[in-house]
Structure 1
């Protein structure tokens, strides 16, 4: 049976017995009120009336309640949602317009756009990156016209959309969030480099005091204190690897979670495969927490590593390690009273200058790309055959070719000096990995060189890869406040999506495997993301229903939302998967996407029943490819 809580609220006798006084409360506050006179006697201290009980569901299920469609496809017209319960408005970042769309949510089945928040008055040619709402105040993160310049955070009234104030923050402000008390806003200033990596601003977290919303003040938690400690951080497992970068320039905050008590925050450092732990009161980054690596050689961490031939092939791959590299993170208090973090392990590679032919022609000063296919990395003829195509010049300068350690990769046929079947498409050949990690190095980080036959040789020109590092964990994780892994979903995402029990479509009538590891922008893309990051979990949102806490995880490529009961952080359980994606196979996806459902979920927002327009808990899901914001009803299933 579900556990229920009954709360009691002590009302004054006058309020309980004289409804008219409630309507006149504002006028009567200044008057002495002794009693409410009337016949019939009765106690002057009646029993308090109980609030409606808060029931705990046995389970939940997602259903489509409504949808707002921008009619704009493949242009990121719906990215991050937020919600104001007082005005019953949703605010959705529209990257195509550079604004935030304002949606009337008073009828969840038919949300409609009523206006937009345009930040050009704050910064000309500005682009809105993220949005958060608290207490009737809307906060927008605003990117400067030149993304490496300082950005802004602006504050608006949710009901009138009036601009209240704005402040300057770091370069490329992205995700932002209020502390639970609403008095502070934190924003992740990602500080991405320019496309040619010529300018690389420092990453930081701005901490904005909004206790007086008309005069906000900013403090900055930066990473300069970690400069000079790069070797220490690398040894601990933090990736610091950008060209010529120190810690402050290389660490790039992506997403922020705040503890329930509002004292501590954590920022995901996605490319660095780490978290920054922040003391809010002192505006200080106190710890850089490496996240470690996922062993895809274990059965519970199996993956599909190839898109060619297109097939379901989820299997262990010894020697392949996954960098968790979370995007969205969230904090919550579990049943044991401890604070835990929930992380969507999307994965992300640095790829700057990839659209400049001069970079691929060998000019390393014009970019930096770390991604490379295994089949090209360990080809027996070396790297030169890929010059002018997809060979990063930094890798070309490091060595003439690379080998696989046969002691690690013997399972797929590797022998000294020859990868053999390991580089076949159906094995590891198609998998995209980072070339910056996994090769054998000395105590100073310099590569240990080998000859083409696989023998150690200081005069050799080959790298020896003892491990291959793939992007993302293809999972959701739970970690404690110090970044220690408590639980990971392992291979559950891919195995569920490949199972006969899984169904997609608004009516859940299409086999999930139809779109297994599929791209989010074409209808016949079965398995074409297995060589990249699989289903790509990107967004995560937490919702509490009764005594249970649930995590909602958006899958960017495959689409849809995975739901887990995370009440017990050490033993979460899978609850539901819902994806409105439908089937379409026309030659021009733009002509058919309007009938294809919601594609490319980017951001999620949980709306508890008490704040929802119709008294039912909801989940907003913004989808960057289809340009839609889906309103999902959270159906609560109670024990009989």
Structure 2
């Protein structure tokens, strides 16, 4: 199907009238929002009105979306092809691919990691091959896809964002190590002046100033734990959010469980702020820790703490204050997983920090996992792990014996990091115990006072200093397990039937409970009238949650839409045309005044189904 690059005014006007008539017909006070966007809704509901499918499953063929109002085009990262797919969105109910941006002419063998758009200027983050080499950021014209310029940035440029005035592009250079951990580039943030797109200039904010401060930062709660890595090597910028005045940026250091606070004008990281831990032993912070009982067993677990480790973050303002919204996905370092030499005991060939609780606290030690999934760095510390009975007595732990804590229907299946929670001396070295649970310099056991899981299974709001002002607690898992939650485009599938399901398989009730639950990953915000809403994508369970975050200390969940239709076919790729959207990765809010049909929209890139969904906001006044 061919379509003109620019739609006619008549076609757009007709589409807007049809959309308006459909909304009015719904009744119940639901009307199309005014074009000026100044009226404040009392409610919001998501509705899927269109989408585009690459026809590719499980290969990240639709990840990060961005939208240009002038050309009415959507730009979607297709990681499988290493490019950006360009969609005509002039009729939101029928997006059509009209082109693509391929970056191999800039760097041979390169792939695209992220895209951002501002007033017709498209910025693309380009990863080199190998990924440990410096990447590029390229600028294109949205209306004809012409390459304007490109500049060199740091290793593995990932997420990028324009400042509100469109004069600067910030890019998070993640600097991940090679899979065998032989090369570990420094992470950094590039600040690109694009006032003259044909002649952009680059400054780089590095983390080198924090080298030598690792002990102090660790004491503050910042995770610096890569083998032999300096702070600058260990920090891996994941996502950037900019203040409304364009002066400050907050950078999520996901694996480090921290924010970096950046002075944009100075191109300088001012502070590293640890985000702390979530106490899953407290009421309101419950979680489901097991994937074997095939039910939602959401309860408190004293001694278990969650590391927030946000992926996507976004900013908004209330009065003169800026707040940061985070999707607390969690992410383990896992390099060398496919390297047999690493699992055979060669610690120089990788680094994997994830381990199951049941293997960590086996009273016979963890030697039985050697050659299978035992990280050699862990094995070098001791021969086994113990649970502190004063903390874990509730599930039967006594000196030298984990009791029922190790059972599959208790904590046994939970994946945690072995790098934290064990008792150390003032120098950071492990304090050893014997197999009977007594402190013993000649012993060979670690004593775990706490167990640290990945992610908060939540959404948080933080102030400018990086202090948490609100967290959704256990709300997401409890909602997914409730009678209130309904999935499917028609909202007729009980979510609890597929609670914490996996996005790549069918009939996977409870599958992700031992990992990171529903995995909130993507987040974007949109302001309508005097209200601000956060849209949160749940990577594993799927779907998008909507929160009214106007009051940062008391957000309210407003809606949830999960358009997955087929939850039982073992291999969803065989029913891709009817399966629905799987694995939301990136989200982009389109306000009414920029929207092709005059209604606020939300674009969602779904990496597993390879689909871009167009959701419309139905507003109640």
Which band: TM-score by shorter chain? over 0.9
Aligned: 1:372 with 2:355 = yes
Indicate the SS of the match to 2:411: helix
TM-score, length of structure 2 as denominator length = 0.94
Higher RCO (CA 8 Å, separation ≥ 6 residues): 2
Aligned: 1:307 with 2:291 = yes
Aligned: 1:506 with 2:499 = no
Kindly indicate whether the alpha-carbon contact (under 8 Å) linking 2:501 and 2:511 is maintained by their aligned counterparts in 1: yes
Aligned: 1:281 with 2:256 = no
Relative distance call for 1:490 and 1:53 in structure 2 (3 A) is closer
Q: Residues 471-508 of structure 1: CA distance to partner in whole angstroms, max 9, x if unpaired?
A: 00000000001100000000000000000011000000
Aligned: 1:219 with 2:203 = yes
Indicate the SS of the match to 1:429: coil
Aligned: 1:323 with 2:307 = yes
Aligned: 1:413 with 2:396 = yes
Aligned: 1:261 with 2:245 = yes
Q: CA RMSD in A?
A: 1.0
Aligned: 1:428 with 2:392 = no
Relative distance call for 1:137 and 1:459 in structure 2 (3 A) is same
Q: Residues 8-65 of structure 1: CA distance to partner in whole angstroms, max 9, x if unpaired?
A: xxxxxxxxxxxxxxxxxxxxxxxxxxxxxxxxxxxxxxxxxx9967211001000001
Aligned: 1:363 with 2:346 = yes
Counterpart position of 1:523: 506
Aligned: 1:94 with 2:78 = yes
Residue among 593, 596, 607 paired with 1:610? 593
Kindly indicate whether the alpha-carbon contact (under 8 Å) linking 1:475 and 1:491 is maintained by their aligned counterparts in 2: yes
Kindly indicate whether the alpha-carbon contact (under 8 Å) linking 1:271 and 1:325 is maintained by their aligned counterparts in 2: yes
Counterpart position of 1:353: 336
Residue among 236, 246, 250 paired with 2:234? 250
Counterpart position of 1:167: 151
- Give the Å deviation of 1:310: 1.5
Aligned: 1:443 with 2:395 = no
Q: Residues 438-463 of structure 1: CA distance to partner in whole angstroms, max 9, x if unpaired?
A: 00000110000000000000110000
Segments of structure 1 that go 5 or more residues without pairing to the other structure are 1-49
* In structure 1, C-alpha distance between the alignment counterparts of 2:297 and 2:576, rounded to whole Å: 29
* In structure 2, C-alpha distance between the alignment counterparts of 1:112 and 1:430, rounded to whole Å: 44
* In structure 2, C-alpha distance between the alignment counterparts of 1:599 and 1:225, rounded to whole Å: 41
TM-score, length of structure 1 as denominator length = 0.91
Kindly indicate whether the alpha-carbon contact (under 8 Å) linking 1:584 and 1:592 is maintained by their aligned counterparts in 2: no
Kindly indicate whether the alpha-carbon contact (under 8 Å) linking 1:537 and 1:556 is maintained by their aligned counterparts in 2: yes
Relative distance call for 1:84 and 1:52 in structure 2 (3 A) is closer
Structure of greater Rg: 1
Map 1:585-596 onto structure 2 (within 5 A). 585-596=568-579
* In structure 2, C-alpha distance between the alignment counterparts of 1:358 and 1:157, rounded to whole Å: 47
* In structure 2, C-alpha distance between the alignment counterparts of 1:427 and 1:593, rounded to whole Å: 36
Q: Residues 272-303 of structure 1: CA distance to partner in whole angstroms, max 9, x if unpaired?
A: 00000000000000000000000000110000
Counterpart position of 1:199: 183
Aligned: 1:65 with 2:49 = yes
- Give the Å deviation of 1:354: 0.6
Relative distance call for 1:53 and 1:444 in structure 2 (3 A) is closer
Aligned: 1:395 with 2:381 = no
- Give the Å deviation of 1:583: 2.4
Q: Residues 569-595 of structure 1: CA distance to partner in whole angstroms, max 9, x if unpaired?
A: 111111111110112433433211321
Q: Residues 186-221 of structure 1: CA distance to partner in whole angstroms, max 9, x if unpaired?
A: 000000000010000000000000011100000000
Counterpart position of 1:40: none
- Give the Å deviation of 1:373: 0.2
* In structure 2, C-alpha distance between the alignment counterparts of 1:85 and 1:146, rounded to whole Å: 35
Indicate the SS of the match to 1:101: strand
The total of aligned residue pairs comes to 588
Q: Residues 244-284 of structure 1: CA distance to partner in whole angstroms, max 9, x if unpaired?
A: 00100000000000000000001100000000000000000
Kindly indicate whether the alpha-carbon contact (under 8 Å) linking 1:594 and 1:626 is maintained by their aligned counterparts in 2: no
* In structure 1, C-alpha distance between the alignment counterparts of 2:506 and 2:125, rounded to whole Å: 33
Indicate the SS of the match to 1:543: strand
Counterpart position of 1:145: 129
Kindly indicate whether the alpha-carbon contact (under 8 Å) linking 2:259 and 2:274 is maintained by their aligned counterparts in 1: yes
Kindly indicate whether the alpha-carbon contact (under 8 Å) linking 2:37 and 2:593 is maintained by their aligned counterparts in 1: no
Map 1:47-62 onto structure 2 (within 5 A). 54-62=38-46
* In structure 2, C-alpha distance between the alignment counterparts of 1:522 and 1:107, rounded to whole Å: 32
Counterpart position of 1:5: none
Aligned: 1:627 with 2:617 = no
- Give the Å deviation of 1:383: 1.2
Counterpart position of 2:276: 292
* In structure 2, C-alpha distance between the alignment counterparts of 1:127 and 1:184, rounded to whole Å: 23
